[in-house]
Chain A
Amino acid sequence: MPWAEAFLNTQTNNSENLADSNERHLSYTDALHEALDLALELDKKAFILGQGVNDPIGMFGVTTDLYKKFSEERVFDTPLSEEGMTGMCAGAAMNGMRPVYLHNRPDFLLLTFNQLVNHASKMHYMDEGHTNVPMVIWSAIGRGWGSGAQHSQAVQGLLLSVPGLKIIMPSTPYDAKGLMLSAIADNNPVVIFEHRWLMKQNGYVPEGIYKIPIGEGIYRTRGEDLTIVGSSHAIALAQIALDSLAEEGVTADVIDLRTIKPLDEKIIIESVKKTGRILVVDTGWAMGGVCAEVGCLVAEKAFEYLKAPVRRVGLPDSPTPAGFTLEQYYYPTSEKIADAIKLTISNDK
């Protein structure tokens, strides 16, 4: 798909992260590249595969030239056999290897559900813990420029209810690297959803190995009026929305989940107890996904603290339209999120 680089370039920079110019800054994709490089160096059992990982620019720049350093035995292009290759990864993982299988788009993961959902995520349970399946499945959510119904899907909601899986959705270069390293080190199947619009971001990225705990969210800002929960590009948009309301004095706890499964219930409940209001944002469909799950969690475990109805901003219950104008109606924007924030804080019980 011809991606409009010029457009992507406008989706840059998390200015906050650029504050201290003495810190080392990397682009999002370079941070991921560094994570893979370090993992291959550190662990001889790690290997990388995917369609186009050895292309001249690598997968979005994430895998560029890694095969030159680590050989084509450990970094290799695959046939277009998503289900078969996912099973191959599971089998290799069950035998001590640590595969990292990269896909251009989550849409292609739908072909792998048999191996991902029926096998990889259940093997450890089915044989009473005798076998571990330490594998990483990585893909980047697309948005805009005609990606349409089959190249833009954020399918994390479909996988949220699968026991045995871990699901990561980073939002900064720092997290992208640290969570990739954590995912490779984890002894379970881990799915990472990146977002194409985050990939031109620059941000603080320490050198060397560091890990970020899987299953723990983080407060990006602290405030009083409401709690905003989300991850990946959705939380980046929510930040912009919140900033746009700063002059009106609106403050919020912004929780970046980082990992949507296991879900960090503690941080969500803790914050809602304080603010009494919650807005959940996600890059996927609002129905049945992260928005629905977090909303239900709060209704179940923090109902008595709620001063306003739970609100969510996700995608409408329709496939993604391909055309430019329809896309504008379809996707959440920071303006739409700002409206939802205002509604949430005004609509007291």
Chain B
Amino acid sequence: MVKYKYKGQGYSNTDINKYSKELLLNLLFSMIRIRMIEETIESKYHEDQMKSPIHLVIGQEATSVGACAALKVTDHIYSSHRTHGNYLAKGGDLKAMMSELFCRANGCCGSRGGSMHLIDKSVGMMSTSAIVSGIVPIANGAAMASKMKNEGRVIGVFFGDAAMEEGAFWESLNFAILKKLPIIYLCENNFYSVCTPLDKRQPASVELFDKAAGFGIEAKQIDATNLLLVYETVLEAAEKARNGGGPTFIENVAYRLRGHGGAGDDSKSGYRGLDEVDSWQNICPIHTLQNEMKNHNLIDENTINDFQNRTQLEIDEAFHHAVSSPNPSEDSLMQHVYAD
């Protein structure tokens, strides 16, 4: 049964000619790269060497890539447990990520974080939380700091639809509106919290973005399989935030094509229809943008193949780097409990 249907318009209302070829290639390649990295992780996950609970972003890459591209390099992002896409889209170091997944000493968190805590502060991937909605108040604090220090920095915070069932989410929204914080709430609505569909968790009569709007925030719902829609919407929100216009809530609707956690799809267990998953395969954000670009003669198969070949080498090298890196030493266990 297809409970959650695609309701977007594809690229029919998007004027792709508005954008430079260079930008479009960068955006598409960024999504392809994230997909290839995750597929490689997936293909090796059963070997049990990456002893870390993973949450793949396959199907939802356009939110990560579109949002991060619209933000400035100096802007900061915060993320839920579904980190891979956000970390990579913001420019997080791939080798350090792979080392973290393989629990090595030179992982981005020295093997203290794992897949749900991918952090690279040098590129503005600042922090994450594995507690649903836990990162939202923290991102608020980052926005508060930016405002108090008059830094002109915009904060983006990524979280799933279930985060909106937590009290602290609404506390944060209220405060951000009150203080006109320079923050963009990036809800990644993929309709499911693990196996529980949205309609078992929230009354279906009110859309997520409408609830947020009820708090007094500018709120939008967008088709987040269309990368350019995400890009445009976040661009506008960031500009507003930077000019003192306060926060924006964006409900990014896109389907999670894999299981909640781990490798592969888990739909056979019956919590969602296989036909529902199938129906979203066709509107995968990579395929749709790629097709649109092909239709406008902005890319051809050769260019894509070239990129994929180069990327596979980069990925292989990162995996090799990770598996040949040292494990943490026992005497490092108690380091960093307290800051000096």
Contact = CB atoms under 8 A, between A and B. Distances in A.
B168 interface: yes
Interface string B134-164: 1011111111111011000000000000000
B144 A84 contact: no
B107 to A, nearest CB: 8
B171 A83 contact: yes
Contacts of A92: 141-142, 144-145, 148
Interface string B174-204: 1100100000000000000000000000000
Contacts of A86: 137
B172 A94 contact: no
Interface residues of A, number: 43
A95 B337 CA distance: 19
A129 interface: yes
Interface of A: 47, 73-74, 78-79, 81, 83-97, 99, 114-115, 118-119, 123-134, 163-164, 166, 187-188
Contacts of A89: 141
Contacts of A95: 141-142, 145-146, 149
Contacts of A91: 78, 127, 137-145
Nearest to B144: A92
B109 A128 contact: yes
Contacts of B340: 187
Nearest to B153: A95
A58 B111 CA distance: 45
Given A115-B168, A118-B134, A188-B339, A127 B144 contact: no
A128 B110 CA distance: 6
B172 A87 contact: yes
Interface of B: 78, 108-110, 112-113, 117, 119, 121, 126-127, 129, 131, 134, 136-146, 148-149, 167-168, 171-172, 174-175, 178, 335-340
B138 A119 contact: yes
A118 B142 CA distance: 18
Nearest to A82: B171
A132 B137 contact: no
A187 B141 contact: no
A188 B144 CA distance: 19
A119 B144 contact: no
B105 to A, nearest CB: 10
Contacts of B142: 91-92, 94-95
A87 B131 CA distance: 12
A96 B126 CA distance: 13
B137 A130 contact: no
A42 to B, nearest CB: 16
A97 B174 contact: no
Contact of A131 (B127, B149, B335, B337): B127
B339 A83 contact: no
Nearest to B145: A95
A82 to B, nearest CB: 8
Contacts of B167: 83-84
Q: Which of A47, A99, A130, A164 has the most CB of B within 10 A?
A: A130
B117 to A, nearest CB: 5
A95 B126 CA distance: 9
Nearest to A49: B144
What are the 10 closest A-B residue pairs judged by CB atoms, nearest first? A91-B141, A87-B137, A84-B171, A81-B171, A128-B110, A95-B145, A91-B138, A92-B141, A129-B336, A187-B339
A93 B141 contact: yes
